[in-house]
Amino acid sequence: MRVTCTTETGNAPKTRFDVIIDVGSSLSIRERAILFNSARRCEVAKILLGKIDVAYALTCET
């Protein structure tokens, strides 16, 4: 697997991930499709593809 990340700044900053998955030649076309679709639908992919909000808080507990 190879992942590259590109970040653009400016008025509408965005980040793009390019993912290349090499499964070799021993899998059937059906098995490759199942594996590829599973990777695209995993929980991490859902997080990365959806809108992400980050909430920061600073506390000082004594």
What is the Cα 40 distance to its own chain's centre?
Answer: 8
> Domain span at residue 16?
2-49
Residue 57 lies in a domain: no
Above 90 in pLDDT, residue 5? no
| Identity of the amino acid at 49 | L
Residue 60 lies in a domain: no
Residue 27 lies in a domain: yes
Residue entry with tokens 């021993």: 26
Q: Is the pTM of this model over 0.75?
A: no
Above 80 in pLDDT, residue 48? no
Count the domains in the chain: 1
pLDDT of res. 30: 93
Above 90 in pLDDT, residue 57? no
Mean pLDDT of 24-52: 84
Residue 10 lies in a domain: yes
Residue 62 lies in a domain: no
Q: Which residues contact 16 (CB under 8 A, 6 or more apart)?
A: 5, 6, 7, 8
